[in-house]
Amino acid sequence: MKRFGVAFLALAFTFSAYAAKNSTTVDLTGPVQVGSATLPAGPVKVSWTGTGADAQLTFAPRGKNPVTVPAQIVVAKNGTTAISTIDVKGVQYLQQIELDNQTLVVRNVPGSTANSGN
């Protein structure tokens, strides 16, 4: 039984390490619109599933319900974290999040030329 417990813990650690690669926390300097929700300023956990144009981003701000939107994951050597928004009639819409080795592009953003529909 002890052997099983050790193996299970090792497996659980492996899965949590894998899951950690598909999430990060970003600090929003102001509120931004994502899908039909407004994310408040402050730290927001971002996680993603899928690859390429068939991906989804989930935003989980503290104290708020998570928001999931369609996205595209682009492999890119950005070397830093940056957030891009677009202003549409006074509302800041989140366009993309650049991470060290990839860019998370939000799809279907109003006024964006980066929309990659279907």
Judge contact between 97 and 104, C-beta under 8 A: yes
Q: Count of residues for the chain?
A: 118
Q: How far apart are CA 92 and CA 30, in angstroms?
A: 9
Judge contact between 105 and 74, C-beta under 8 A: yes
Could you tell me the mean pLDDT of each successive run of 10 residues in the chain, 118 residues long?
41 41 94 95 96 96 94 94 95 96 94 59
The pLDDT of residue 112 is 73
The pLDDT of residue 25 is 96
> pTM for the complete prediction?
0.77
The pLDDT of residue 21 is 81
Q: How far apart are CA 76 and CA 71, in angstroms?
A: 15
Judge contact between 107 and 74, C-beta under 8 A: no
The pLDDT of residue 18 is 43
The pLDDT of residue 4 is 40
The pLDDT of residue 111 is 81
The pLDDT of residue 115 is 53
* Strand extents, DSSP E, the chain: 23-28, 32-34, 37-39, 42-51, 54-61, 67-75, 82-88, 91-98, 102-106
